[in-house]
Structure 1
Amino acid sequence: MTSPVPRRPTQTVAEFARYLRTETTGGLILLAATAIALIWANSPIGDVYRTIRDFELGPELFHLNLTIGEWAKDGLLAIFFFVVGLELKRELVVGELSKIKQAALPIVGAIGGMLIPAALALSIAWGEPGIDKAWAIPVATDIAFALGVLALTGSNLPSSARVFLLSLAVVDDLGAIIVIAVLFTASFDLVAGAIALVALALYAFLQHKRVRTPWLYVPLALITWIAVHSAGIHATIAGVALGLLTRVHADKDEEHAPAVRLEHRLQPWSAGFAVPVFALFAAGIEVSGESMTEVFTTKLPLAIMAGLLAGKLLGIFGFSFLAVKLRIADKPKDVQWRDIAALSVLGGVGFTVSLLITELSLDGEATELAKAAVLLASAAASLLAAAMLIRRSKAHAHEGTD
């Protein structure tokens, strides 16, 4: 009896390259949507933008009378988080995070990249209204933007550096998911929660029985989403749960496992439509000299910017360095500490999930100031990281020619 053929390194790199190319395109679309939102919200027809964003749509049944902006936040982002769930499941079962020694470095780095920004934000804005939940805003890293910047500026970096960033971002997303589930569940409807659990159990059962028809899975996914939303848990958690229950091992008669097929099909919709539409309605803040002054003189937005810019660098790099020195993890031989430093700065691109947590944790003027802080810090982190990555890419290219 022959043993199964192990996954070849070239297959892993090729699959990762495909992911990078998709996220690069998605990152550019996301950037365009953000620019459109800012220009539109501050134009003479800014009232039209706010009217559309705040227009209610949907039945009151199951609390589905949401605004357009809320549909983008609760509905479309569920697709994004479903793709994240698929990626997380695949990485944990058959990918880089399935190997303890290789997974240790990005896991420890991601933990540091969550703890230090949160601690820094709390220390700066302690006592400020809303900081009891807003400390979570700088915890997140945006996969689309981070991988997009890396693909555009770090073409000569070793593949292990790119795998480190992807693994780190996946673990970071898991942390953000836990924060959203725990921190923003104010009340819980037991009946709706029970329906959600039954729907998820049925989804897992159908996966186990190798049922493949979308005619069952699509209605089941909608039922799960509605039940989770009605239960009082943020609806994006439904996407994550469904992704984690999807099968990642292909059968003999399958070219790809369901998780891989669904990721390939939904990734373009997530990166090219769901996330940009969310950004369109989340990033439209009103910019003025007075508001920009407040961003740089008010503790809460300063705490967010410090968390994303300084906290991510100190947390990811510091924890990674300690993990290697304490022999908890191994640093890839072809990756230098300057590469890790550049990737740590890139971790400060919070954007999508940071904007989501901002909307969940704050209201009124504080929301606008926090969003401005997220956008400014993410832009600064991406530009600084891009400059560092270009320099590191040139250094690796030079080493390759020696």
Structure 2
Amino acid sequence: MISQVRSELTRYLRTETVGGAILLIAAATALLWVNSPWGDSYFTMTETVLPIAPLHLDLTLADWTKDGLLAIFFFVAGLELKRELVVGELADPKRAALPIIAALGGVATPALIAFVVGFGTDGMDRGWAIPVATDIAFALAVLAMTGSRIPASARVFLLSLAVVDDLVAIVLIAVLFTSAVSLLWLLAAAACFGGWALAQHRRISSPVIYVPLALIAWYALHEAGIHPTLAGVGLGLLTRVRPDEREDQAPATRLEHLIQPISAGLCVPLFALFASGVPLDGKVFGQLFTDRLSLAIILGLLLGKTIGIFGISWLAIRLGIAERPADLGHRDMFALSVLGAIGFTVSLLVAELALADVGDGSAVELAKAAVLVTSMAASLIGSALLLRRGRVHRARHEARALQPEE
């Protein structure tokens, strides 16, 4: 079982790393497109309505990527969270303590900084949640490209931290962005969740059962007034992660193999393409470092994440509450904490949800620009630190190899 879990973790990391690279290409494409002479065509594309008349779903292409495709991403996140909680790193309380504590510190500190810096500005009653999430795909891609010489425990720590981090972000989305709830539709969604759990319990494997349940659950939450991406998380958490004696793989493993490449290689990059198109003119750059909204996001992400993750981790280790991952030093932990400041996918989603009704839409664009600029800064700083730490680890490895055996 342990070797199988490690194999799945390796596969997950590899897929997310490739997906992270595609995500960066998609985001860069959106930025170049919207700031080119053909920028108007970008907005024409994103604002094109693709309606499903019988269901009264008059959503733009951008909304479909945000509400629809990200539900698939959150489903994979739910599957991974369930696996980590049951048979993975988070199943062992001793090993789970540090990434859980670090994740909570990495959520609370950015939220506090953003709230204090942006207090009183329009949209900050919910906008403080923008810098709380770490982007799994982006952060793992940077770690894979620049931290190959860092011990493997770094990847496990970063993944576990990001999974818990995303869970908290999901809860915040459910709480902050749900106003009026339709009880009837909520009951319909609950019935779908119950049907999914029952089918899992009865060991039913036919997609004829699961696909309609997933689609109806998504639609029911949409109509209930709850962000429909939460359907993905709920269904992921209800999926079995332990195989029976007659099964080669658990249902969660089979679904991850099938869906994760689609999520990492298509769904998240498409969301990035539709969400990252921010005009970066002189006015926006001027506001980035003067407007309190953007400063709240920048300081919340870059300082809040780094201080929150590293500070609470250091304190937990010093107090004996948690153990530092094998072969990692405090400087390694600091470099990983900087990567935690990469808040892309979920941060962009929260920015759109929190600031959609603020002003003429310029607040959303400014918030997105702040997330993009800060995420790129965190990736560059984190990469430099990881490269330096990689040289240190390589030197230590070579020194040990030259020592004569006793």
Shorter-chain TM-score bucket reads over 0.9
Alignment of 1:154 with 2:126, yes or no, is: no
In 2, Cα distance between the equivalents of 1:255 and 1:283?
A: 41
Gaps of 5+ in 2: 400-406
Instruction: Say which of 378, 388, 393 aligns to 1:391.
Output: 388
Deviation at 1:162, TM superposition (A): 1.3
TM-score (norm 2): 0.95
In 1, Cα distance between the equivalents of 2:175 and 2:129?
A: 11
- The aligned runs of 1:53-64 (5 Å cut-off) are 53-59=46-52, 62-64=55-57
Number of the residue aligned with 1:135: 128
Number of the residue aligned with 2:2: 7
Deviation at 1:15, TM superposition (A): 2.8
Deviation at 1:63, TM superposition (A): 4.6
Identity %: 58
Deviation at 1:60, TM superposition (A): 5.1
Contact 1:62 1:230 in 2 (8 A): no
Instruction: Write the letter of the residue equivalent to 2:74.
Output: F
User: What per-residue deviation string (whole Å, max 9, x for no partner) do you get for residues 54-82 of structure 1?
Assistant: 11122355551111100000000000000
Number of the residue aligned with 2:404: none
In 2, Cα distance between the equivalents of 1:34 and 1:95?
A: 31
Deviation at 1:335, TM superposition (A): 1.1
In 1, Cα distance between the equivalents of 2:295 and 2:38?
A: 30
Deviation at 1:232, TM superposition (A): 0.4
In 2, Cα distance between the equivalents of 1:227 and 1:7?
A: 38
Q: What SS is found at the alignment partner of 2:2?
A: coil
Q: What SS is found at the alignment partner of 2:52?
A: coil
Alignment of 1:81 with 2:74, yes or no, is: yes
Contact 1:63 1:230 in 2 (8 A): no
TM-score (norm 1): 0.96
Contact 2:22 2:265 in 1 (8 A): yes
In 1, Cα distance between the equivalents of 2:173 and 2:55?
A: 21
In 2, Cα distance between the equivalents of 1:108 and 1:268?
A: 30
Deviation at 1:352, TM superposition (A): 0.4
Instruction: Write the letter of the residue equivalent to 2:396.
Output: E
Contact 2:20 2:264 in 1 (8 A): yes
Number of the residue aligned with 1:301: 294
Q: What SS is found at the alignment partner of 1:57?
A: strand
Number of the residue aligned with 2:362: 365
In 2, Cα distance between the equivalents of 1:271 and 1:347?
A: 19
Aligned residues: 395
Contact 2:153 2:326 in 1 (8 A): no
User: What per-residue deviation string (whole Å, max 9, x for no partner) do you get for residues 318-337 of structure 1?
Assistant: 11111111221111241111
Deviation at 1:14, TM superposition (A): 3.4
CA RMSD for the aligned pairs? 1.1
Alignment of 1:243 with 2:243, yes or no, is: no
Instruction: Say which of 84, 98, 103 aligns to 1:105.
Output: 98
Instruction: Say which of 83, 93, 117 aligns to 2:110.
Output: 117
Number of the residue aligned with 1:3: none
Deviation at 1:393, TM superposition (A): 1.4
Q: What SS is found at the alignment partner of 1:65?
A: strand
Contact 2:76 2:256 in 1 (8 A): yes
